[in-house]
Structure 1
Amino acid sequence: MTVQSIQVTPIQAPEGSAVDFGAAITNVDLENLSDNDFEYVLTKRFDPASSTYGHGKTLDVKRSVLHPDLKTVPHQPQVQIIGHGHYDEYEGLKDFTLKHPHHKVFHKTAIPEEDDLNFTRFYRWHIDAALYALNPPKVTTLLAVKVPAGRRQTLRYDDGTGDELDVSLGTTAFVSGQNM
């Protein structure tokens, strides 16, 4: 089997449904397809012409606000690695350290030190928009290679509502603004 044989077919929502997403993935032997192959092929199906990350501006990546939080996979420049800790080697990168983003970096006010272990906030907003005469990407995908185990945290919205959410460590939230 080759990974090019994967077929993705949009799911038709029932009449009157507000659901506007979902797909059936067929013609694939999941027992013989690596996670990395699947993630790459799935992403390429949305935009076959895509071959870079950040509109191809990899030369300027060190000045990016995201630079301390990620590393670019050398053989796959559209793939970014986010995590925490030291790594001897991963996907062609050698002897590197990742720093998990902390909400204190982007928020005007922070959770008090005495609450910081058990509480968190969303790190920051990111928007894929048509800025600077560049079109936004058609798709963003995430592949969790390894997730933190053990304890959980309470995410505080800190927007005046008192709303909180029980989350696992390292949680990332994605929201589509299309229907907001």
Structure 2
Amino acid sequence: GGLSLAAFANAKSRNTGYNPALIKKQKEFYKNAKLISKYKRSKKQLNQSDGPPPLPLPNPNPKEGVDANDAPKLHSKKKKRVAPSLKDEYEKKHAEDEKAKKEREAIIQAKREEQEKSEARRKDLREKMFKKTRSGQPVMKYRIQHLLETALEISNK
């Protein structure tokens, strides 16, 4: 049970749409189109920057508002006004961030110093609690002193 000879021939001759030569041609066409559009864009930009700026026509009716030729000038003025304010905002935000960063660092430094003090205190207490006499017996002076201090702290609370 395989395919008949006619069915096999029809399956082989059917167009699958895969043609490497055609695909290569299309890729080249799109590549060229892309290059041409880039060239046209750059040429247009050069023409705009090289040409003299358009002269504004006097507005016969100043009460009517802004002329279409005057509109680009107003936009450029607004942009120039916006730029310094953005710069000021950036500097202000940067200064605030810097201030917050210094405050965080100060808090972290204070916590670190507090930890170091408490560690030193605990280490000192530990050394005193584990002190031994020459015969190897614990020194009771520091242990009793510690018990008295804790009893006083509890009674004060």
**Shared fold, TM over 0.5:** no
* Structure holding more helix per residue: 2
More strand by share: 1
TM interval, shorter chain, is: under 0.3
